[in-house]
């Protein structure tokens, strides 16, 4: 009714004006929303960039180390009574004087590992509930399954972590260390326990003097935590399955299942063909050491400590000689423990901890059955004598 009283031309002008006003309002709203959206996107991009830059700078640092070796000793003199050997023969060929043997009835690899982890948590003032990942490197698990790592968690009281084993023989701890570091570097995990431990006397034939003089029981564990300055810098790992013929256990797996015949033929013990293993070990550790330093543009003089797998004193000396690396900067404790397989590297770190200083450059290198081998460069995160 009111519209009828308004001239037609006026109504047309009004409608046109109203439409333009609506368009102006829509344009203003769209412009505001676009500006808001652009600003919000910019802020989001900055937040994401800062996050990834922080993650890129994040390293996994060793913030504590602990060890465990059994009380029972098996000396060279003891072995002279078991096999045709002598202290002079063993010492000159291996550098070993004694090894620790786990003799506790009804106990297994997880029990040794439990003690070292408990020591580690106490030493670093860390509660079991704070651990969010545990990795155990071993070739002597309690059982084929379940994995020993979960058993360790159960015995220690670690209930907020997931856990798994790594089997890479003597390179196991090195591989596990880098694996654990990746979880820390990603920002997804804050406290990771890495263990290297083996119950070698459970798979050694003490009538075979080529192996029984070499191996012992024990190992160590480290705690990895985030750090922007110190920690694991780089790793180079290699493998060659053709080497399996020279170092292995003949029976017990799916390829050759346990039978009365395999037991009678002593096929559930370590078999090693020493000469090809020796050559491959020296070559593998020296080449990955040199490649690692070259890739990170540092020289031998920049490395404060070389931490080699304690397989055999001749191998350790050959590696140091080929690298022209000062013997006084090479960690050696094989004389006290023998070859504890996955346990040798953390045992070295534990024994030399008091000599390590914040900022020290370490290269850990190992070689094991498989063949597996590699080297890891890391910067030590704390003064060990504190």
CATH of the domain at 324: 3.40.47.10
Tell me whether residue 386 is in a domain. no
Alpha carbons 203 and 117: distance in angstroms, whole number: 24
Do 17 and 164 fall within a single domain? no
Do 197 and 338 fall within a single domain? yes
Do 126 and 37 fall within a single domain? no
Do 48 and 75 fall within a single domain? no
Select from 357, 354, 348 the least CA-distant residue to 376.
Answer: 348
Do 106 and 48 fall within a single domain? no
Q: Looking at residue 1, what is its pLDDT?
A: 46
Tell me whether residue 12 is in a domain. yes
Instruction: Report DSSP state, residue 188.
Output: S
Tell me whether residue 21 is in a domain. yes
Do 195 and 227 fall within a single domain? yes
Alpha carbons 343 and 351: distance in angstroms, whole number: 12
DSSP string, 8-77: HHHHHHHHHHHHHHHHHHHHHHHHHHHHHHHHHHHHHHHHHHHHHHHHHH-EEEEEEEEEE--S-EEEHH
Count of domains forming the chain: 2
- Positions of the chain with pLDDT under 50: 1-2, 13, 45, 49-50, 52-54
Do the beta carbons of residue 380 and residue 360 sit within 8 Å? yes
Do 11 and 118 fall within a single domain? no
Do 29 and 158 fall within a single domain? no
What sign has the CA pseudo-torsion 239, 241, 245, 248?
A: positive
Tell me whether residue 385 is in a domain. no
Do the beta carbons of residue 89 and residue 222 sit within 8 Å? no
Q: Residue 103 has which token pair?
A: 């003799």
Last residue of a domain, one of 53, 70, 88: 53
The radius of gyration computed from the CA coordinates of the chain, to the nearest angstrom, equals 30
Q: Looking at residue 49, what is its pLDDT?
A: 42
**Predicted confidence (pLDDT) per residue in 230-262, tens digit:** 999 999 999 999 999 999 999 999 999 999 999
Alpha carbons 129 and 156: distance in angstroms, whole number: 10
Q: Looking at residue 386, what is its pLDDT?
A: 78
Select from 210, 218, 170, 227 the least CA-distant residue to 341.
Answer: 170
Alpha carbons 225 and 347: distance in angstroms, whole number: 20
Tell me whether residue 214 is in a domain. yes
Do 44 and 83 fall within a single domain? no
**Predicted confidence (pLDDT) per residue in 59-89, tens digit:** 999 999 999 999 999 999 999 999 999 999 9
**Catalytic positions, please?**
170, 309, 339
Do 65 and 37 fall within a single domain? no
Range list of H helices, the chain = 2-5, 8-57, 76-80, 87-94, 109-123, 148-156, 172-185, 209-212, 260-264, 274-295, 313-323, 334-337, 344-352
Burial label, 306 (beta-carbon count in 10 A; 0-12, 13-18, 19+): buried
Tabulate helix, strand, coil % of the chain (nearest 5). Answer: 50, 20, 30
Bridging pattern class, strands 372-379 and 231-239: antiparallel
Q: Looking at residue 303, what is its pLDDT?
A: 98
Do 107 and 231 fall within a single domain? yes
Instruction: Report DSSP state, residue 300.
Output: G
Of all helices (H) and strands (E), which one includes residue 237?
Answer: strand 231-239
Per DSSP, the three-state class of 343 is helix
The parent domain of residue 25 ranges over 2-53
Tell me whether residue 183 is in a domain. yes
Do 43 and 181 fall within a single domain? no
Tell me whether residue 384 is in a domain. no
pTM: 0.86
């Amino acid at each position: 009714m009111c519209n009828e009283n308004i001239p037609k031309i006026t109504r047309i002008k009004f409608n046109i004006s109203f439409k333009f006003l609506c368009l102006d309002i829509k344009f203003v709203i769209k412009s505001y929303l676009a500006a808001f959206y652009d600003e919000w996107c910019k802020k989001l991009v900055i937040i994401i960039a800062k996050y990834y830059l922080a993650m890129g700078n994040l390293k996994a640092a060793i913030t504590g180390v602990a060890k465990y070796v059994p009380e029972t000793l098996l000396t060279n003199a003891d072995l002279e009574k078991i096999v045709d050997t002598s202290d002079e023969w063993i010492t000159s060929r291996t550098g070993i004087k004694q090894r620790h043997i786990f003799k506790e009835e009804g106990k297994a690899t997880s029990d040794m590992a439990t003690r070292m982890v408990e020591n580690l948590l106490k030493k670093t003032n860390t509660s079991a509930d704070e651990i969010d990942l545990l990795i155990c490197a071993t070739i002597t698990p309690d059982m084929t399954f379940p994995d020993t790592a979960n058993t360790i968690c159960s015995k220690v009281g670690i209930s907020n972590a997931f856990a798994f084993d790594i089997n890479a023989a003597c390179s196991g701890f090195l591989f596990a260390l880098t694996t654990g570091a990746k979880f820390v570097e990603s920002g997804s995990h804050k406290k990771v326990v890495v263990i290297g431990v083996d119950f070698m006397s459970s798979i050694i034939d003490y009538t075979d003097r080529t192996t029984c003089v070499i191996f012992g029981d024990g190992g160590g564990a480290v705690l990895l935590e985030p750090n922007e300055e110190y920690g694991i810098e780089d790793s180079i790992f290699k493998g060659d399955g053709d080497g399996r013929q020279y170092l292995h256990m003949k029976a017990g797996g799916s390829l050759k299942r346990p039978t009365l015949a395999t037991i009678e033929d002593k096929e559930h013990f370590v078999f090693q063909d020493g000469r090809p293993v020796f050559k491959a070990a020296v070559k593998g550790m020296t080449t990955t050491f040199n490649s690692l330093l070259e890739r990170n543009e540092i020289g031998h003089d920049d490395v404060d400590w070389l931490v080699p797998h304690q397989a055999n004193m001749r191998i350790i000396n050959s590696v140091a000689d080929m690298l022209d690396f000062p013997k006084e900067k090479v960690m050696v404790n094989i004389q006290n423990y023998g070859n504890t397989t996955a346990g040798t590297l953390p045992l070295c770190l534990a024994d030399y901890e008091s000599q390590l200083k914040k900022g020290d450059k370490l290269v850990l290198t190992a070689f094991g059955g498989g063949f597996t081998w590699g080297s890891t460069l890391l910067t030590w995160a704390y003064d060990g004598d504190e």
